[in-house]
Amino acid sequence: MTSIEAAPIGRRDGRSRPAVSAVRRGRSFRLLLPALVLLVVFFALPVIALLLRSVLEPSPGLQNYAALLGSTTYLRIFLNTFEVSALVTLVSLLIGFPVAWTLAILPRAAAAPVFAILLLSMWTNLLTRTYAWMVLLQRTGLINKTLMGLGLIHEPLPLVNNLVGVTIGMTYIMLPFVVLPLYGVIRKIDPAILQAAALCGATRFQALVRVLLPLVAPGMAAGALMVFVMSLGYFVTPALLGGTANMMLAELIAQFVQSLVNWGMGGAAAFVLLVVTLGLYALQLRLFGATGLGGR
């Protein structure tokens, strides 16, 4: 046996496998370094500064958190925020799933215009879209005029400055964030699986519930988490379409900071929102792993 044959494979180029792995880790770290610096400067440091202000202003202690969580008014705003976010997430899933399914089974040429509409709606200015819905939903807007013209209603429906207006406006804005991850998951499903379920005697409902839904669950979870978390921090659409009776947490934070100049309370509310978001993200990872968020 020659010396080359006797040597381990990793030593033939003169370097051991641990040394090669260390070099690769060092190279990967250098590639990640700019992103880590950006995260530290533009995310970690502001969050730490906000947390410090929430426990130091106007005096050191947890009085801001106690006032926030001990007030029925603030708790009602928290509850309203979660209710609106959950409702928007549910409606977005109910509308987004058939849209994603239709896009997945359509030929690419036919699906392209629908994708273009979805992307254009995402790229259009948020304030412009919200004002457009204000025009459409008001008492003399196009929707009420059309319904009255068709004889379906006799008086204008209250579609703005309430929960209905907030739900419609936010669902329209959030819909692409459900459709796109669902479309990616549905496209990967082999149609032969559904055919096999039918051959085994499954009805369409059974194939939907016991075969299709488990397969698309990671995409639904990713879309639902994205919509829910984004809805928790939404400001413009609830402020313009919801009115004062449907205030959400982002509006409360804006009032603390801009109107009351109370950075302590504003920081406490923002930090509570951040903790809830991180908790939901951890739950998502626990249930579906990184694949549920589009990872590998």
pTM of the model: 0.78
80 within some domain: yes
13 within some domain: no
Domain that holds residue 89: 75-289
212 within some domain: yes
Q: pLDDT tens digits for 58-71?
A: 888 888 888 888 88
At residue 19, does pLDDT exceed 80?
Answer: no
199 within some domain: yes
Q: pLDDT tens digits for 176-199?
A: 999 988 888 888 888 788 888 888
Mean pLDDT of the region 100-105: 88
State the CATH number of the domain containing residue 199.
Answer: 1.10.3720.10
93 within some domain: yes
38 within some domain: no
Q: How confident is the model at residue 292 (pLDDT cuts 50, 70, 90)?
A: low
Domain tally for the chain?
1
140 within some domain: yes
Mean pLDDT of the region 246-264: 85
Mean pLDDT of the region 187-216: 84
Q: How confident is the model at residue 92 (pLDDT cuts 50, 70, 90)?
A: very high
Which class for 289: exposed (0-12), middle (13-18), buried (19 or more C-beta within 10 A)? exposed
* Predicted local confidence at residue 295, as pLDDT: 46
221 within some domain: yes
Q: How confident is the model at residue 17 (pLDDT cuts 50, 70, 90)?
A: low
